[in-house]
Amino acid sequence: MLIIDAHLDLSMNALQWNRDLLASVYTIRTREQRLSGKGRAQGTVAFPEMRRGRVALSFATVLSRSTGTPSPYIDFDSAAQAHGMARGQLAYYRALERQGVVRVVDNAADLADHWAAWETWEAAGAIAGDEPPLGFIISMEGADPILDPAQLEEWVDLGLRALGLTHYGPGRYAGGTATEKGLTDLGRAILPEMARLGVLCDMTHFSDESFWEALAIYDGPVLASHNNCRAIVPHQRQFSDDQIRAIAERDGVIGAALDIWMVVPGWRFEDQGKGNVFLKHVLDHVDHVVKITGSTRHIAIGTDLDGGFGLEQSPADLDTIADLQKIPDMLRQRGYGEDDIAGICHGNWLRLLNN
């Protein structure tokens, strides 16, 4: 089954974490054996494993914050610094494209050509090593690098197709995870520009206040690239049932995330153990969205694998991103039909991107 993953922080891993994603996950783990820190020597994502897992298309992020609380490599003292880092991350994707490793999907024609190439490869027998290039949709997680709303068009010209206004903390454009802040003046100004330019609005990481305010202002297509259900994991980072319904009413799509503190209630970072958290628990969130919306149309995959963590914070039955291929059979075991499984694995994201 071909897979679309709506959230991978690939450039962050390549630049801030200095990982050569052309190498295998196992080579990267070996290279990091002497490094300390969360996620080191425990990565799950690299291009060989993405190809093996048939992750034909992914939303590849640029991520660089300027929230007023600096943090090494991710949160910078000024918007200009955040801008520079994000432009570097975008340049990394374009360098990979020049090398023929990936294809940056810039428009509907690109998407149709890219997806047809992967379907042709699959129909021809899916010979390993003969895969088409990996496809990337450029997404920005947190709008802090955009110096002002008028600059959005420049970013679109450079390839940006999806934008979440905030991340953790009080972003320049909106209150994010762990805040009760709404949109800023910059946030209110950029949303109409996003709609005008056809930029998808990623609702992930919004505070509750900014979520509802953004939904009222922005009238274009919405998604949540990597988000789970508050009914299962009671935390502000997750969506309430009302938020899930609101996205479905806009014909949006939610990507189920694999970060295990978002998968089961009560998991704590300091536990340093996975316990009994498996991919099947991620599918509980899929089931819940289907129950709330009455359809499989609004749920898909947005793993966030290697989003600042590694094996220590991933489902116990996942070694690398290639193990996403376990999901179709697990959905069959839960009674989902083939059309619904294809929708969850890729079709729902394709529909949204073709709106």
Q: CA-to-CA distance for 189 and 178, rounded, in angstroms?
A: 23
pLDDT at 169: 97
Q: CA-to-CA distance for 36 and 76, rounded, in angstroms?
A: 22
- Tokens 């940056």: give the residue: 104
Per-domain boundaries in the chain: 3-353
pLDDT at 275: 72
Half-sphere exposure of residue 206, counting CA atoms within 13 Å on the CB side?
26
pLDDT at 170: 97
pLDDT at 272: 53
Q: CA-to-CA distance for 217 and 206, rounded, in angstroms?
A: 14
Tens of pLDDT, residue by residue over 23-76, are 999 999 999 999 999 999 999 999 999 999 999 999 999 999 999 999 999 999
pLDDT at 165: 98
pLDDT at 45: 98
Q: CA-to-CA distance for 223 and 215, rounded, in angstroms?
A: 11
pLDDT at 276: 84
Q: CA-to-CA distance for 75 and 305, rounded, in angstroms?
A: 20
Q: CA-to-CA distance for 238 and 292, rounded, in angstroms?
A: 15
Listed as ranges, residues in the chain with pLDDT below 50 are none
**What angle separates helix 279-293 from helix 241-249, to the nearest 10 degrees?**
60
pLDDT at 355: 86
Domain covering 3-353, topology = TIM Barrel (3.20.20)
Q: Can you read off the two tokens belonging to residue 175?
A: 């209150």
Rounded to two decimals, what is the model's pTM? Answer: 0.98
pLDDT at 273: 62
For residue 277, give the 3-state DSSP assignment. coil
